[in-house]
Amino acid sequence: MSHRKFSAPRHGHVGFLPKKRAARHRGKVKSFPKDDPTKPIHLTAFMGYKAGMTHILREVDKPGSKMNKKEVVEAVTILETPPLVIVGIIGYIETPRGLRTFKTVFAEHLSEDCRRRFYKNWYKAKRKAFTKYAKKWQDELGQKDIEKDLNKMKKYCSVIRVVAHTQMKLLRKRQKKAHIMEIQVNGGTVVEKVDWAKEHLEKQVPISSVFSQDEMIDVIGVTKGKGFKGVTSRWHCKKLPRKTHKGLRKVACIGAWHPSRVKYTVARAGQKGYHHRTELNKKVYRIATGIHTKDGKVIKNNAATEYDLTDKNITPMGGFPHYGEVRNDYIMFKGCCMGPKKRVITLRKVSLRCCSGKVLIMGFFL
């Protein structure tokens, strides 16, 4: 009878099973923050593109700590966040089995990068998406239908969400197809939410209207793909001794003779990376505007602090590696986030506040 010489904790977290490729490329918001009607109307999520990482030097303001009034260097992530465009309104009603879509209203004009999302092959397609629907906005009967749907939303719905898409033309990347997502509208009454959403149809929403500096946010996305990996890389199992027959990057015993099946908890080779993950409570250090013109002058100074004597742009010399230049609005938050460069990342208002938020930033230097 075989036995192991020493017992040890298991390798790898079973809570993240199954370790398979994510079904979607864009991070999905599984649950939006709880609505509070007393607060003003606001969106609860946004989308950005990972440009890369840099570091900042900041002064710690934490009375009682040994680090208080001292300078620390911290790693930060830069996400490029061009304004989103709102193109639809969706109303949800509550049922015994959860939320159900009740009515959907789309805008009259949808941009090309938005309509590309509804096709697998744009250049071979007839590009007829939403052409009939757009005619609704032009005649009286159609407008009455739209008003009827909006009034029904105001009467019956408990949750209002808007359909928003990214602007790929502003990014100057290879991809032309926009990323589309539903974003929940929180704050105010349902009537006010529907009116707000209707006012903002076809309009741009900047990131500064959703998040603010020193706020905590959640980051949702899909991790870097690593392909098919063995147990040593995938589960971090211990390598077997050097003289082991038929390889040593293996699991020595994958289970007892009976039951004559391999348990799901046993480490096996397979897919590593490209998993959907949510990271909670990231501190926003800065939300800055992109390169813009003011009084006939091109302003690139979007990374300087009050301590800087010269103008600074967030893009390093030669651009961010494997990304390029950040020309649009960007958000900077503490630490790292999932995914490679150019990956679309979903940002969400915090749903679980697990830190006191006592850490205030006095100032930082790039």
pLDDT tens profile 189-217: 999 999 999 999 999 999 999 999 999 99
Backbone angles phi, psi at 132, to 5 degrees: -70, -40
| Mean pLDDT to the nearest integer, 221-244 | 95
What's the pTM value of the predicted model, to 2 decimals? 0.92
Q: What pLDDT does 356 receive?
A: 57
Q: Is the pLDDT of residue 3 over 90?
A: no
Q: What pLDDT does 306 receive?
A: 87
Distances in Å between the Cα of 274 and the Cα atoms of 56, 174, 221, 246 are 29, 21, 9, 30
Burial of 347 (0-12, 13-18, 19+ CB in 10 A): buried
Q: What pLDDT does 282 receive?
A: 95
Q: What pLDDT does 2 receive?
A: 66
| Mean pLDDT to the nearest integer, 313-329 | 95
| Mean pLDDT to the nearest integer, 67-90 | 96
Using alpha carbons, select from 9, 49, 28, 35 the residue that is nearest to residue 337: 49
Distances in Å between the Cα of 323 and the Cα atoms of 171, 207, 240 are 10, 20, 40
Amino acid at 53: M
Omega cis (within 30) before 259: yes
pLDDT, one tens digit per residue, over 14-64 is 999 999 999 999 999 999 999 999 999 999 999 999 999 999 999 999 999
Distance of CA 118 to the CA centre of its chain: 21
